[in-house]
Amino acid sequence: MKCVSYNIQYGLGADGRYDYARIAAEVESADIIALQEVERFWQRSGMVDGPAVLAEHLPHHHCVFAANLDTDASYEEGGRIVHRRKQFGTMILSRWPILSARNFPLPKWGEREHYSIQQGLQEAVIGTPLGPVRVYSVRLSHLAPFTRLPQVDRIREILDAAPYEGGAWCGGNPDPSAGWTEEDEPPMPVSWILMGDFNFLPSTEEYARMIGGVSDRYGRMSNRMGPLDAWVVAGHAEDAGRTHPLAGGRIDHCFISGDLADRVREVTVDEAATGSDHWPLWVTFE
């Protein structure tokens, strides 16, 4: 099972050209795709419906888009309102059915002078060959560690709470004729894969808050239940690698629940990709 995480910078490539089709070509071999900075109906990218274009060029993948920034882009034509939303968010695509999906707003800092955008954690429960797995796509604040730490804490809460909450709907219905139980109850598995642009390096407080702290004697202390850094599980040094040419290291990560650790086979970065300012992070599971 091949997964990829890619901050696509709204289709803007290293050559200064907007091209969602190029993005699709760079990730089409993946079974599960987690994208960040996907937008629709922005002037800068030519008013393109990015999720629709990606879905068109990846016809063998199921998909779900989650808008975190959502503002009005409607207009009047022929005496009626044409409804359209200017949106910016994340997207998950899968070769296997997406059984359910949710989106969780993350804490936002109300900055006075610098651009501060609403971020969210997108969840898709996917029926994979490993069984149902929760897959998450996320992008954290670019502003500062203190704006990201509350987001990390909220993500940890969401990851831990999901199995106790049950699926998107659960508990059945005492009156089937009411029409609420039109399909089987969707699962909410314990296993999860969290991918995205976290905007922090492994040396930071945010990473420690996500993974675990460092002991002077024993080094990094990771909990057996996770989160675990798939890059490290695959055998790489924690401070090795980079996912952005200017970041000085890895700011895009794949974190996993502890039960998936033995399934990780390979984690690589495609530094040849040119569709964005980031590089795709690839993770292969047994």
CATH number at residue 143: 3.60.10.10
Higher pLDDT, residue 58 or 286: 58
Q: Which domain holds residue 228?
A: 2-172+181-285
**Mean predicted confidence (pLDDT) in 65-80:** 96
Higher pLDDT, residue 175 or 133: 133
Residue 179: per-residue pLDDT: 76
Burial grade of 29 (CB within 10 A; 0-12, 13-18, 19 or more): exposed
Longest dimension (CA), the chain: 72
Q: Domains in the chain: how many in total?
A: 1
Q: How confident is the model at residue 182 (pLDDT cuts 50, 70, 90)?
A: confident
**CA-CA distance, 223 to 259, in Å (whole number)?**
11
**CA-CA distance, 270 to 281, in Å (whole number)?**
7
Which two three-digit tokens encode residue 237? 């040094």
Residue 174: per-residue pLDDT: 61
Asked if residue 41 lies in contact with residue 16, where contact means CB atoms within 8 angstroms, the answer is no
Please say if the pLDDT value at position 129 is more than 80.
Answer: yes
**Mean predicted confidence (pLDDT) in 227-256:** 97
